[in-house]
């Protein structure tokens, strides 16, 4: 069964990550303590990948009983990638195994998806696709082998909402896990703190900041509540560098829903340029 709730992203535990990360990667024991705190606090699952440094090893060392979603390393043989992940995670199975290379959805000439799909069973609950674009999301929706989808969406990136893709996923019963709801922390910055290549986010952070003041909540609560209540969303993936941040994220996930007026105010925001909402393109635009 697909996990539902707040999913702790672990890329920050194994690598330096996040534009607003001022503390850096936690020490290994601190990361283990964070994972154990997350399990006690009510996190629904962990999201990791072979490419996240030693994040999988840290999860294995922490010994937590949380469901785990991991990924097939880009270019790797699916069975071999899974074996390595299970060994590092010190477990017999994972709830979701995501394809980490969404381009295979656009032309799987070498049969990667078929070879990944046969792994579903005792060791893999669902085969998923981790995607970046609405076109890739639509391709995953149309593929019967794909049982779950992870994709970016936020107050600044509402393409999946406006294209009706989340509604389609809900209708088809494919659970969706939204990531980048904070856009690597950029949406938590004050307008004056945005770097030059992200000034296109200013209308978003101003609107979210105003709503946060209206609700007497942190900005993160507004951003998570908006994503959490979108159609078809089974979970929201949010990372953390400390146990305190995990607690903040859990409180954000439990925050009251936005009112209709507040949600409409977020939905009315103009779409940010793709070069702004896709962190893969930030280096090229700096």
Mean pLDDT of 55-82: 96
Q: Which domains does the chain have, with CATH numbers?
A: 5-285 (3.20.20.100)
- Report yes or no: 54 and 85 within 8 Å, Cβ to Cβ: no
Q: Which contacts of 204-209 are long-range, i.e. CB under 8 A and separated by 24 or more positions?
A: 204/155, 204/156, 204/269, 204/272, 207/155, 207/265, 207/266, 207/269, 208/155, 208/266
Mean pLDDT of 73-97: 96
Mean pLDDT of 52-60: 97
**Backbone phi and psi for residue 151, each to the nearest 5 degrees, phi listed first:** -155, 155
Tokens of 25: 């990667």
pLDDT tier at 284, thresholds 50, 70, 90: very low
Please provide the average confidence, as pLDDT, over all residues in the chain. Answer: 93
H/E element, 69? strand 68-72
Give the residue, 139 or 74, on which the prediction is more confident. 139
- Among 48-62, 77-91, 268-282, the range scoring the smallest mean pLDDT is 268-282
Closest CA to 227 of 1, 49, 7, 71: 7
pLDDT tier at 203, thresholds 50, 70, 90: very high
Q: Give tens-digit pLDDT for 7-27.
A: 999 999 998 755 554 567 899
Mean pLDDT of 35-41: 96
- Report yes or no: 130 and 99 within 8 Å, Cβ to Cβ: yes
> Cα(71)–Cα(68) distance, rounded to whole angstroms?
10
């Amino acid at each position: 069964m697909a996990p539902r709730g707040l999913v702790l992203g672990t890329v920050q535990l194994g690598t330096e990550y996040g534009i607003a990360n001022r503390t850096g990667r936690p020490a290994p024991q601190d990361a283990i303590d964070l994972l154990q705190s997350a399990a006690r606090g009510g996190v629904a699952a962990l999201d990791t990948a072979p490419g996240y440094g030693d994040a999988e090893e840290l999860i294995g060392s922490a010994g937590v009983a949380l469901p785990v979603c991991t990924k097939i390393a880009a270019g790797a043989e699916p069975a071999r990638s899974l074996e390595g992940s299970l060994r590092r995670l010190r477990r017999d199975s994972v709830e979701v195994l995501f394809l980490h290379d969404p381009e295979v959805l656009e032309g799987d000439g070498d049969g990667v998806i078929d070879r990944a799909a046969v792994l579903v069973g005792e060791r893999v609950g669902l085969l998923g696709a981790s995607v970046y674009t609405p076109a890739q999301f639509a391709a995953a929706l149309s593929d019967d082998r794909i049982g779950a989808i992870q994709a970016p969406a936020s107050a600044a990136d509402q393409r999946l909402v406006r294209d009706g893709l989340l509604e389609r996923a809900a209708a088809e019963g494919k659970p969706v896990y939204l990531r980048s709801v904070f856009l690597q922390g950029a949406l938590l910055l004050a307008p004056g703190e945005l770097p030059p290549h992200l000034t296109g986010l200013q209308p978003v952070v101003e609107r979210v900041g105003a709503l946060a003041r209206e609700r007497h909540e942190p900005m993160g609560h507004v951003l998570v509540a908006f994503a959490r209540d979108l159609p078809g969303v089974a979970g929201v993936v949010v990372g953390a560098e400390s146990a305190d941040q995990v607690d903040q994220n859990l409180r954000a996930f439990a925050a009251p829903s936005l009112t209709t007026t507040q949600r409409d105010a977020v939905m009315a925001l103009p779409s940010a340029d793709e070069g702004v909402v896709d962190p893969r393109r930030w280096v090229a635009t700096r």
